Structure 1
């Protein structure tokens, strides 16, 4: 394992997990946080507490940023722009693709190398096989520090466009968000009768969703292909299901907004003469601009 010196700026739960993983792997680790006490346990484990952001940046060739948002990043880095030349910044702060691209452009103008990242993990799974982190930006910068970055979780390089990691990060999080919203909705329905319990229902839900997830690669293949979709359902069947889920939700005293919107969209497609429901069509319908 390499022993590149790494600095971590931002010591919330995730930042502390990142720093702890680096210390465990033997990397000389410098840390900084506005509330200095958050570094106490890391310092006890061998980290060096920087007194300032500039001191943290100057402590080594690689600095990881794990902050609340890009406004905080700008506030902290702009006053120390002169210290960035010749160093590599890796932003692991959640934000939008546009923010990532703007930050890269600014960092490059200061003479720094820049990578943007998205952490697909929770603090307790950092540095475990369950964790992976997305990176985008110039490949030479990724390759130069890949060994150090792999300490945190499997490093997935997505390309030279610095905004792609943020795009994929938020797309993955959106899938998680929909999943949890679906879970809460289904539990609200299932527990609307006297004997229903969330725990008992979830025992059925987890294997059902696990099985259904197996079809996603087939959907993805259809979306990527110019050929006729392999997986298709009758549009009338899908519409009937959406209507029934909406009505059952209302009958159970649960909001049916999602299914009502879905039914309205499917009715529009049926009126336009469409007869099948496919993944490519579903993806196109979600876009606000034409392909």
Structure 2
């Protein structure tokens, strides 16, 4: 198979959970010739009515198309499903959530069986798949030639962001983004908890203020990135570490007074205090990144 013979309208999808089904519907709506397989065959029935070809076995599904997309629960599931499939000459795009190390190992495994490989990290919920303007996208890393060959097909369900030839980067960026999201969720939970004991404090009235404030704070990421790149952690700092550590005492005291646990705040505040104690009071929070490296 070469890029010149790549059939951009035909593909196979393995896995029809909520995300896989959303992907399938997006490709079908765009007129792609889609073969699907799922461990539980009943999930494929509605897609058959929408034009998909349903394969009985994985081998049959893989044989049907040069491009094979995998969207399964985890890396072990992908390995199990593809264990007996003939991947010679195939292009394998794996959207299964995994660690960077697993992605690199899976790439070597696929290439050893004669396939080009792309790993992908989906940064969208199923409801955003196939919806123009939803903001959803998929991170890809691995074979550049494969990405270039099937970019149009991959762009149908969501935007595409290519991160380079290292197959572990999509998983790395995926986990990094989700980790930041988890931290934001923790902050939101703590904020609402502070209001929870006040009968006249309305969560619905507070929510727009919280959302707008978090949006205004988002450019902080660019400032930290610039500081990490050039090594000057004091550049552009408006609230230095000494000031923030002092202010954190008010955050903790207010939580205690409101009957709210400080367990979501104290890990980060402890790191800030440690960095300050080491003599970096003029910095912002970029130095905390270095403390986290083991």
Q: Tell me if both proteins adopt one fold, taking TM over 0.5 as the criterion.
A: yes
Q: Per the shorter chain, which TM-score range?
A: over 0.9
**Does the 8 A contact of 1:220 with 1:279 survive in 2?**
no
Alignment of 1:176-255 (within 5 A): 176-227=181-232, 229-232=234-237, 233-255=239-261
Deviation at 1:230, TM superposition (A): 2.2
Does residue 66 of structure 2 align to residue 61 of structure 1?
Answer: yes
DSSP-derived class of the 2:121 partner = strand
In structure 2, runs of 5+ residues without a counterpart are 1-6
Give the stretch that moved more between structures: 146-155 or 208-217: 208-217
Work out the CA distance in 1 between the residues paired with 2:283 and 2:255. Answer: 23
Superposed CA deviations along residues 235-282 of structure 1, whole A, max 9, x for unmatched, are: 221112222212211221211023323333333233322222324312
Work out the CA distance in 1 between the residues paired with 2:176 and 2:277. Answer: 31
Closer, same or farther: CA 267–180 of 1 in aligned 2, 3 Å: closer
In structure 1, runs of 5+ residues without a counterpart are none
Superposed CA deviations along residues 81-112 of structure 1, whole A, max 9, x for unmatched, are: xx210001111011100111111111111101
> Hey, what does 2:271 align to over in structure 1?
265
Deviation at 1:212, TM superposition (A): 1.4
Deviation at 1:158, TM superposition (A): 0.3
Structure-2-length-normalised TM-score: 0.92
Does residue 33 of structure 2 align to residue 19 of structure 1?
Answer: no
Size of the aligned set, in residue pairs, is: 285
Closer, same or farther: CA 277–192 of 1 in aligned 2, 3 Å: farther
- Aligned residue among 116, 119, 131 for 2:119: 116
Superposed CA deviations along residues 67-89 of structure 1, whole A, max 9, x for unmatched, are: 00011111111122xx2100011
- Aligned residue among 129, 134, 138 for 2:139: 134
**Does the 8 A contact of 2:24 with 2:34 survive in 1?**
yes
Give the stretch that moved more between structures: 270-279 or 135-144: 270-279
Work out the CA distance in 2 between the residues paired with 1:165 and 1:118. Answer: 6
DSSP-derived class of the 1:193 partner = coil
**Does the 8 A contact of 1:117 with 1:135 survive in 2?**
yes
Superposed CA deviations along residues 194-213 of structure 1, whole A, max 9, x for unmatched, are: 21122121121111111111
Q: CA RMSD in A?
A: 1.5
Deviation at 1:64, TM superposition (A): 0.8
> Hey, what does 2:45 align to over in structure 1?
40
> Hey, what does 1:173 align to over in structure 2?
178
Closer, same or farther: CA 29–162 of 1 in aligned 2, 3 Å: same
DSSP-derived class of the 1:8 partner = strand
Superposed CA deviations along residues 9-36 of structure 1, whole A, max 9, x for unmatched, are: 0000100010111111111000000111
DSSP-derived class of the 1:257 partner = coil
> Hey, what does 1:95 align to over in structure 2?
98
> Hey, what does 1:277 align to over in structure 2?
283
> Hey, what does 1:157 align to over in structure 2?
162
Work out the CA distance in 1 between the residues paired with 2:58 and 2:143. Answer: 25
> Hey, what does 2:3 align to over in structure 1?
none
Superposed CA deviations along residues 126-183 of structure 1, whole A, max 9, x for unmatched, are: 1233111110002111111111111121111101110000000111111111111211
